[in-house]
Amino acid sequence: DQQVKQNSPSLSVQEGRISILNCDYTNSMFDYFLWYKKYPAEGPTFLISISSIKDKNEDGRFTVFLNKSAKHLSLHIVPSQPGDSAVYFCAASSNDYKLSFGAGTTVTVRA
Amino acid sequence: DTGVSQDPRHKITKRGQNVTFRCDPISEHNRLYWYRQTLGQGPEFLTYFQNEAQLEKSRLLSDRFSAERPKGSFSTLEIQRTEQGDSAMYLCASSSGGVVTQYFGPGTRLLVL
């Protein structure tokens, strides 16, 4: 069963604009959420995370928002840069060892 | 800090053969994880170790799969009698105990012909 869902398989955005990636989850026991970025032929790279006790976490150009009541989180990238073109995975954990991942969203930043 | 490394990066084998992959975690991390990723999907959890103890195995890990971490450092994942459905990217990750964030290696891409 897919407990973490990324319903948009792709996103195209112009350089300098905002990228917004969405993620929904079904397991109310999830208490920690992460975003990873993946380039082709490489492993996922950790980007940013958020605990369920918070509703926002910011790191440079990246901000993650968590809406627990809606079981929804989003990643904002501002401003988008060409190097941001990659696959982005949302992941969640209900313990401190197993991550459940979404299927990913491919972001393309246009010059 | 050299990060998580995996070897080999690519493996092509014939159906029925055995293959073994190696993962070297970040040196101070006592937890090590194996995931499998197929095309168009996110990574799926296979198993994890805390030090040398294997603490959980996913039902995705059939009897043909075995993982070890003999001295609590590097780990190996062996697949016996490979099948075409085993073709995937096998990812290793590590973390410190009690920390949720996992750091991934580059993966081993397996193709079973």
Contact A65, A58 (CB under 8 A): no
Q: What is the DSSP letter of A78?
A: S
Using the beta-carbon criterion (under 8 Å), do B105 and A96 form an inter-chain contact?
no
Residues of chain A found within 8 Å of residue B40, distances taken between Cβ atoms: 103-104
- Residue A69 is encoded by which pair of tokens? 């009541």
Determine contact: A30 vs chain B, CB below 8 A. no
B1 pLDDT band (50/70/90 cuts)?
Answer: low
Among A22, A3, A2, residue whose Cα is nearest residue A11: A22
Residues of chain A found within 8 Å of residue B45, distances taken between Cβ atoms: 98-100
Question: B31-82 pLDDT, tens per residue?
Answer: 999 999 999 999 999 999 999 999 989 988 889 999 999 988 999 999 999 9
Using the beta-carbon criterion (under 8 Å), do A32 and B100 form an inter-chain contact?
yes
Tell me what the pLDDT averaged over chain B comes to: 94
Contact B108, B9 (CB under 8 A): yes
pLDDT of residue A97: 81
Residues of chain A found within 8 Å of residue B4, distances taken between Cβ atoms: 43
Q: What is the DSSP letter of A102?
A: -
Interface test with B, best of A98, A100, A105 (most B CBs within 10 A): A98
Among B110, B111, B107, residue whose Cα is nearest residue B7: B107
Q: How far is CA A104 from CA A23, B54, B56, in A?
A: 9, 28, 25
List the beta strands (DSSP E) in B1-113: 5-7, 10-13, 19-24, 31-37, 44-50, 53-57, 65-68, 75-79, 88-95, 103-104, 108-112
Question: A33-79 pLDDT, tens per residue?
Answer: 999 999 988 999 999 999 999 999 999 999 999 999 999 999 999 99
Using the beta-carbon criterion (under 8 Å), do B100 and A101 form an inter-chain contact?
no
Mean pLDDT throughout A23-40? 96
Which of A49, A89, A102 is the closest to B101 by Cβ? A49
Q: Are strands A86-93 and B108-112 parallel, antiparallel or unpaired?
A: unpaired
